Amino acid sequence: MNEPLDYKILDNIVVCIQDTVGFGRKAFESFSLATDIARDLGIDGDDANDLMVEFFERFSIDLNDYDPYRYFLEEGYNFFSFRRAKDRRGNIPLRVGMLYLALKSGRWDTQAFEQAKFSDAPLYKRTEDIPIDGYKIKSRGSCR
């Protein structure tokens, strides 16, 4: 992604995550387009399902070829999960940047999103920039 970020889109994603499942206390210290929803934010299982259903519905995103089993583990233990294809075992990171591209384009494009490279540079540099209350960022310097 080489174009400037649309922070209105990004802020909408943050609000959706907060409304649905919330963030950990220090989530915004390193929150970036490369942030993995499951591994970095701890959103998996039923919470991940709730988030993605809300995301697709709230923003009228065409699900197209979205497959939750690519990105998230199921809640609890599923004895038969080992029989799933390797690409359907929750091993592929679903990144904030993928949500950003989906919201921007209005549709989910698995191949394009999984091949995209996302920056790990923090998106919010100051506490005042975070679109939701209750979170702080230690001073990093300049504005967005």
The pLDDT of residue 1 is 66
In a domain, 139, yes or no: no
In a domain, 100, yes or no: yes
Q: Report whether 37 contacts 100 (CB < 8 A).
A: no
In a domain, 4, yes or no: no
| Helices and strands: H and E segment counts in the chain | 5, 0
The pLDDT of residue 72 is 87
In a domain, 59, yes or no: yes
In a domain, 137, yes or no: no
- Using CA atoms, how far residue 48 sits from 44, 45, 76, 121, in Å, is 5, 5, 13, 24
In a domain, 131, yes or no: no
The pLDDT of residue 85 is 47
- Structurally, the chain folds into a number of domains equal to 1
Chain centroid to Cα 144, Å, comes to 19
The pLDDT of residue 84 is 47
In a domain, 136, yes or no: no
In terms of residue numbers, what domain contains 17?
A: 9-124
Q: Averaged in consecutive runs of 10 residues, what is the pLDDT profile of the chain (144 residues)?
A: 89 98 93 96 93 98 92 63 49 95 98 97 95 85 51
Q: What is the DSSP string of 102-140?
A: HHHHTB--HHHHHH-----S-S--SGGGSSSSS------
